[in-house]
């Protein structure tokens, strides 16, 4: 897997370059983060770290998820202020979306994390966030102010091996979770799935049409990746009874080839 960050020092260097860049858009992100950090420790979380780890920063334009360890009312007051400068909107889970130059920032107070509020994950400290992601590649937490990176033990092994596995599949939006997983399969170099994640894909595809998923993707993402997938072959591949499902991709990754 070309350009994959194989260790914490390599990934931290990439992330540090993002936040300390002379690029106007990135500087704008840093200004917002500085104001969030004044409320409490602020962490970049999830998919943005995954994408930078897998592909570097040259073509990075994903959303940025920030979790702030502060009281909800303090965050509300700050975002009211920031809404005078930036395009800002509330989401249905109590967080905010803020448009900053090239990037959308999703921002929420740590106590508002859905998995904690619904007691799907026991909150102990900020590291509990690593247990709240859908997939293992998203289980990463970075604090720009201290350059500290937190990941599970085998995070970099899984990235370099292309091994994707489930972390927390209980989700208030199963369709959105499925689309997120399928976009990872379509757009990243996934080589292995664990049995739990494969079972979830099969169960959800059994009662969701690919057309419905395509429509959801168009409504929620800037790029369309799911049209590359073949639903029948995907279901067959994920129905493999072995412990791990190995996905052999065609050259253009347009379909799944069954390896057995």
Domain positions in the chain:
8-157, 173-257
pLDDT of residue 233: 67
Question: Could you state, in chain order, the average pLDDT of each consecutive group of 10 residues for the chain (260 residues)?
Answer: 84 94 88 97 96 87 92 96 94 88 92 94 96 97 97 95 95 93 91 91 87 91 82 68 44 31
pLDDT of residue 237: 65
Look at residues 159, 244, 202 and name the one whose alpha carbon lies nearest to residue 259. 244
pLDDT of residue 255: 29
What are the two backbone dihedrals, phi and then psi, of residue 3, each rounded to the nearest 5 degrees?
70, 5
What are the two backbone dihedrals, phi and then psi, of residue 245, each rounded to the nearest 5 degrees?
-100, 120
Cα distance between residue 159 and residue 7, in whole Å: 10
pLDDT of residue 256: 31
Q: Locate 207 and state its tokens.
A: 């009662």
For 24, 180, 205, 212, the CA distances from 130, given in Å and listed in that order, are 31, 17, 26, 30
- Torsion, CA 32, CA 37, CA 38, CA 41, rounded to 10: 160
CATH topology of domain 8-157: Beta Polymerase; domain 2 (3.30.460)
């Amino acid at each position: 897997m070309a350009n994959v960050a194989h260790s914490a020092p390599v990934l931290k260097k990439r992330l540090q370059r993002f936040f300390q860049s002379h690029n106007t858009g990135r500087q704008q992100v840093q200004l917002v983060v500085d104001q969030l950090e004044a409320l409490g420790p602020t962490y970049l979380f999830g998919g943005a770290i995954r994408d930078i780890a897998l592909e570097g920063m040259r073509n990075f334009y994903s959303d940025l998820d920030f979790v702030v360890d502060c009281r909800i009312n303090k965050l509300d007051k700050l975002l009211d202020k920031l809404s005078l400068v930036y395009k800002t909107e509330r989401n249905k889970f109590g967080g905010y979306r803020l448009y900053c130059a090239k990037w959308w920032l999703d921002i929420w107070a740590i106590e508002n994390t859905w998995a904690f509020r619904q007691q799907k994950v026991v909150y102990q400290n900020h590291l509990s966030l690593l247990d709240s992601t859908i997939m293992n590649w998203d289980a990463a937490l970075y604090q720009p102010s201290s350059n500290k990176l937190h990941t599970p033990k085998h995070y970099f092994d899984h990235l370099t091996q292309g091994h994707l596995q489930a972390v927390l599949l209980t989700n208030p939006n199963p369709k959105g979770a499925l689309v997120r997983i399928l976009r990872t399969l379509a757009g990243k170099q996934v080589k292995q799935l664990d049995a739990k994640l494969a079972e979830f894909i099969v169960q959800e595809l059994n009662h969701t049409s690919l057309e419905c998923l395509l429509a959801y993707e168009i409504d929620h993402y800037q790029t369309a990746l799911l049209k590359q997938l073949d639903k029948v072959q995907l279901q067959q591949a994920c129905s493999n009874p072995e412990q791990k499902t190995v996905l052999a991709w065609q050259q253009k990754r347009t379909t799944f080839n069954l390896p057995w």
